[in-house]
Amino acid sequence: MSAASKNLWRFLFATTAIILLAAVLNFVVDPLQLFRPARLFPAMYSPSSRMQGAGLIRSQDFDTVSMGTSVAIYFRPSDVDRVLGVRSIKLSMNGSNSHEQSFVLAAAMERRPKRVIWQMDDWIFRNAPEIDSGIYLPADLYRRNAKGVATYLFSGAMARESLWILARAIPPLEPIVARFTNGLMFKFPVSRVDDINTRRPDFDVAGFYNAKSALADFRQLIDPARSSSIAEGYNYDAMVRNFERDAVALIASNPDVTFDIYLAPYSILQFVAMRDASPSTLKITYDFTAYAFPRLLQFPNVRLHDFRDVKDVTHDLGNYSDVIHHSPVIDLKVLSWLADRQYVVDPAAPLASLERLKAQVEAYRVEQP
């Protein structure tokens, strides 16, 4: 064999060895806890909820799953557990659509939870393409198929995280490594499952959630140059199709699971923006509610809560950072309302809350600067 041939084979073998070494490292450390809960090494978690959810479903003990968009992402599972008397995991994902949410919930159903707390709105049903057409949700990790496992094991980024977690497990290195662990350099900077995507205790709530921010966002929304974004993707027929495929089908196929579905207390400005800049979108929103509420109430395992007309909260703009995102204080209120079943939609009058909302939107006048 010539020297060049020998070098070629050496090159190929050494490359294979390094790649296999990385895969072994990822398997042993298992940063996502996909194969087993963390025992040998300290558990670390990622704020990337689409990825982390796959690991949480496998590694945590739970009987309740909470799901939603960014509006429901700052809940602390410990608060949910305390107020509702459950053992929960949080699988909410920023900007998620109904198909992503349904897909992740279906994966969680394999662990047989008793209850799902699902923050739902019309927005998630607008644009919900097939799971594998998106690039953000690692669907194969949830499916735990060969492709998903291989992608996880043969990932250099994951090997870097594994090395970091490994270093953190070595006592003399632990303080230094912990000090440099942050979300900028490492994808798994969170050491407690309860802290994933929550506001830190020192977070400036009043500075972030205030009427000025909410009104500024409102004005931007209704600015004629940008207002077309309000109507983006709103198509009644498509929304109903997505609703049937993603929500109704999942509920129907899990009759033993109680679904607490709630519509979050968006600020009144969200609907007023539609009223002022895109009335046709507001009509679709109303029409969609008029279709979805009676449909959901057909299922005995659904409890439907509508918080959109809770005037004390929705008209107090100091609760909001923009037209929809409320403060952690309201998160706790939502939990107490869910526990007290204070705003449960009455099957005898499924559209009563919608009519109240319509009246509020009609009557509301935005204060001028």
Partner 1 sequence: MLFNSYSFIFLFLPLVLLGYFALGRRSQLAPVVWLALASLVFYAFGGWQFVLLLLLSIAFNYGVGYLLIVPKLGSRARLAVLTTGVAGDLVVLGIFKYAGFFAANLNALFSAGLIVNIVLPVGISFYTFTQIAFLVDAYRGNVARYALPHYALFVTYFPHLIAGPILHHKDMIPQFERAETKRPDPHLILCGLIIFAIGLFKKTCLADGIQPLVAQAFGPTTPTFDQAWIGVLAYTFQLYFDFSGYSDMAIGISLMFGIFLPLNFNSPYKAVSIVDFWRRWHMTLSQFLRDYLYIPLGGNRHGRVLRYVNLMITMLLGGLWHGAAWTFVAWGTLHGVYLCINHAWSNFGPKAPPRFARLTATAGVALTFLAAVIGWVFFRAPDITTAFAVLSKMADPTNIAFGRVEMMYALFVAIYAALAWFAPNTQEIMGYDHEKRSVGENLRTRRMRPLFLYAATAVLAFGILGIQQHSEFIYFRF
Does position 154 bind partner 1 by CB under 8 A?
yes
What is the smallest separation between the CB atom of 81 and partner 1, expressed in angstroms?
32
Q: Which helix (H) or strand (E) holds 354?
A: helix 352-363
What's the sign of the alpha-carbon dihedral 159, 160, 166, 169?
Answer: negative
Does position 159 bind partner 1 by CB under 8 A?
yes
Across the strands, what pairs with 262? 119, 305
Nearer to partner 1, 139 or 310 (CB): 139
Q: Which helix (H) or strand (E) holds 268?
A: helix 268-277
End-to-end CA gap in the chain: 83
Residues 86-105 that bind partner 1 (CB under 8 A): none
Separation CA 201–CA 192 (nearest Å):
14
Of 151, 227, 235, 360, the residue at the interface with partner 1 (CB under 8 A) is: 151
Nearer to partner 1, 18 or 170 (CB): 18
What is the smallest separation between the CB atom of 16 and partner 1, expressed in angstroms?
8
Number of residues that bind partner 1 (CB under 8 A): 24
Does position 130 bind partner 1 by CB under 8 A?
no
What is the smallest separation between the CB atom of 99 and partner 1, expressed in angstroms?
18
Does position 146 bind partner 1 by CB under 8 A?
no
Of 170, 176, 185, 329, the residue at the interface with partner 1 (CB under 8 A) is: 185
Helices (H), 60-186: 77-84, 98-109, 139-143, 146-153, 156-168, 174-180
Across the strands, what pairs with 45? 190
Stretch that binds partner 1, among 118-126, 179-187, 205-213, 294-302 (CB under 8 A): 179-187
Token code pair at residue 121: 């709105």
What is the smallest separation between the CB atom of 29 and partner 1, expressed in angstroms?
15
Separation CA 70–CA 68 (nearest Å):
7
Residues, the chain? 369
Does position 252 bind partner 1 by CB under 8 A?
no
Does position 70 bind partner 1 by CB under 8 A?
no
Does position 135 bind partner 1 by CB under 8 A?
yes
Does position 156 bind partner 1 by CB under 8 A?
yes
What is the smallest separation between the CB atom of 240 and partner 1, expressed in angstroms?
26
Count of Cβ atoms closer than 10 Å to residue 70 Cβ = 16
Residue with tokens 């100091």: 318
Does position 11 bind partner 1 by CB under 8 A?
yes
Of 5, 85, 207, 365, the residue at the interface with partner 1 (CB under 8 A) is: 5
**Contact letters (x/-) for partner 1, 12-51, by CB under 8 A?**
x-xx--xx--x-----------------------------
What is the smallest separation between the CB atom of 318 and partner 1, expressed in angstroms?
23
Q: Distances in Å between the alpha carbon of 209 and those of 5, 173, 267?
A: 66, 39, 12
What is the smallest separation between the CB atom of 340 and partner 1, expressed in angstroms?
38
Separation CA 361–CA 118 (nearest Å):
25
Residue with tokens 């057909």: 298
Nearer to partner 1, 4 or 363 (CB): 4
Count of Cβ atoms closer than 10 Å to residue 55 Cβ = 24
Nearer to partner 1, 10 or 315 (CB): 10
What is the smallest separation between the CB atom of 214 and partner 1, expressed in angstroms?
17
Does position 4 bind partner 1 by CB under 8 A?
yes
Please give the full DSSP string across 182-251, using - where no structure is assigned: -TTT-S--B-SGGGTT---TT--HHHHSSHHHHHHHHHHHH-TTTTHHHHTT--HHHHHHHIIIIIIHHH
Pairing label, strands 302-306, 88-90: unpaired
Q: Which residues of the shown chain bind partner 1 in the complex (CB under 8 A)?
A: 2-5, 7-8, 10-12, 14-15, 18-19, 22, 135, 151, 154-157, 159, 182, 184-185
